Chain A
């Protein structure tokens, strides 16, 4: 099993550009999450999904959008990139909603200049 796969690993954007961060998992997990990690800070939840077709906002959703058309894929969209979105982004998944471990991808390092 590949687990949780994120692409790309690195990206540099100009202010105002858009991009999609890809996340796919092959473990048939219903629950998927997008986090951002800023230097010296804990992970902050951006969006999450409890199954195909169902998404909800996390703590820091502004400037982002998500969709969940299949169980496997959970892309994160940045429409108008801003310097404040410079961060490392992690996708995670889990089988159930309570107390089971999250499986994390290896992250996408995004710089907006």
Chain B
């Protein structure tokens, strides 16, 4: 069994300040973890993924996430928010080496950027 919990449904930050979007997971297997971003009226786009290599993962647009097994967390961070970062962010978990039909999506965190 597996699940993913995004701890905040909505996060607001000022432009130029750090972003932190929190994700906790549970999995009976060694997990692969992903962050996807969804801009308004668009499909989801992969930001970054962790698949049992380096625990600090760098993604597109300056985002990164750290896999912490002891805390079962995979939080998404960015040092300085930009207006274009306003979107919905989904944390996703899957047992490593299982098919994509086993993906479990979180409920999403809406990120608002204050000018």
Q: How far is the CA of A94 from the CA of B108 in the complex (A)?
A: 22
Determine if A42 and B100 form an interchain contact, defined as CB atoms under 8 angstroms apart: no
Interface assignment of B96: CB less than 8 Å from any CB of chain A: yes
Q: Indicate the size class of the contact surface on chain B.
A: 20 to 34
Say yes or no: is B101 at the interface (Cβ < 8 Å to chain A). Answer: yes
Could you tell me if A105 and B100 are in contact, using CB atoms closer than 8 angstroms?
A: no
A79 contacts partner chain B, Cβ-Cβ < 8 Å = no
A4 at the interface (CB under 8 A from B): yes
Scoring A residues 84 to 113 as 1 if CB is less than 8 Å from chain B, else 0, what string do you get? 000000101010011101111111000000
Query: A74 within 8 Å of B by Cβ?
Result: no
Question: Given A97-B99, A99-B51, A99-B96, do A42 and B43 touch, yes or no (CB 8 Å)?
Answer: no
What's the Cα separation between A47 and B92 when bound, in Å? 18
Task: Return chain B residues, CB-CB under 8 Å to A33.
Answer: 100-101
Q: Which of B9, B44, B98 is the one whose CB lies under 8 Å from A102?
A: B44
What CA separation (Å) do A81 and B44 show in the bound complex? 26
